Amino acid sequence: MLSVHHYATDVLIASTLLHLIRVFFMGTYKGKLYAWTEGSYLISKLQRIHTEVTELKLGNAWISGVVLLLITVLFLFSGYLLRWDEIGYYSIQITTSIVAYTPVIGDTLRSLILGGSEITSRSLARFYIAHAILLPLLYLLFLGLHYYYIKKARFYWLEVGVGSVTLGFLLLVSVLSPFGLAAKPSAELTVSLKPPWLFLWLYVIERGVGYISPRFNFVNILLLLSILTLLFLVPYIDSGEEKPETKKKRTIVGIASLTFFILLSIIGYLWEASSP
């Protein structure tokens, strides 16, 4: 169960990102989509069923999708402390220390997250409530909104099949390569510590900024907030009629962003681990 839970996190994040990337490159957030009333887009293509192009408010679907991505990342963040091993403990300690460098409100934010100035049982309780109660409820709410905005009325057997195959894959990987927790938190870190693959690119920036001065680590928070804000604004920035030059610009921006993410992630993977 622990292994399935661990690997399912990566699958959820990767599938959400891939879906977001596909929607961005296709520009479907502008409002055109094949009608979902006769079946899903995928099934329509596989079965060669003719469906009419319908004008929908897919900008709202994009925004709800970005919120779902944010909630997924918060699932990852809150779950790290619940491991209650030295990797989870020190990862949260480093992350909240970076948050504390935010000008003016840094210490307040860290105390709000941890329930105090240090990681305690109160911190563990807060993370558990967020991970097991609040975030699942929010996820279901915005998932419902997401389906509502794209007028998706029901699931289909092919989608159930894809879900079943995914679960089978997770079970197989969990049996062949079971996930194990690290040692319990102690005064000294005994293993290499790096962020999850999703944040290896940010790890490189954080280390680079840290060489200048740890006080500038708030740049990482501002960078994340800026990226999140831009994602929310995509339907408003690119709201005009779809033209070849518009599609070309969107493709260039998308490829450049992916290249930046992949290259820095590779550097982060090869870079030596940090210590708290």
12 pLDDT more than 60: yes
Nearest to 223 by CA among 106, 102, 132, 88: 102
Task: pLDDT band for 131, please (50, 70, 90 cuts).
Answer: very high
Q: Report d(CA 200, CA 204) in Å as an integer.
A: 7
Q: Give the whole-angstrom CA distance, residue 170 versus residue 148.
A: 29
Top-confidence residue, 206 or 40 = 206
Q: 191 lies in a domain?
A: yes
Q: What is the mean pLDDT of residues 131-143?
A: 95
Residue at 275 is within a domain: no
The number of distinct structural domains making up the chain is 1
Both ends of the chain: CA-CA distance in Å? Answer: 30
Is residue 276 assigned to a domain? no
Which pLDDT value is given to residue 265?
93
The verdict on residue 164 lying in a domain is yes
CATH code for the domain in which residue 75 is found:
1.20.810.10
3-state DSSP assignment of residue 248: helix
Q: How much is the average pLDDT of 114-141?
A: 93
Q: Look at residue 260 and tell me if it is in a domain.
A: yes
Q: pTM of the prediction?
A: 0.84
Amino acid 86 reads E
Residues spanned by the domain of 168: 2-270
39 Cβ contact list (under 8 Å, min separation 6): 47, 49, 51, 156
At residue 89, does pLDDT exceed 60?
yes
Give tens-digit pLDDT for 35-87.
444 444 444 554 444 444 444 567 888 999 999 999 999 999 999 999 888 88
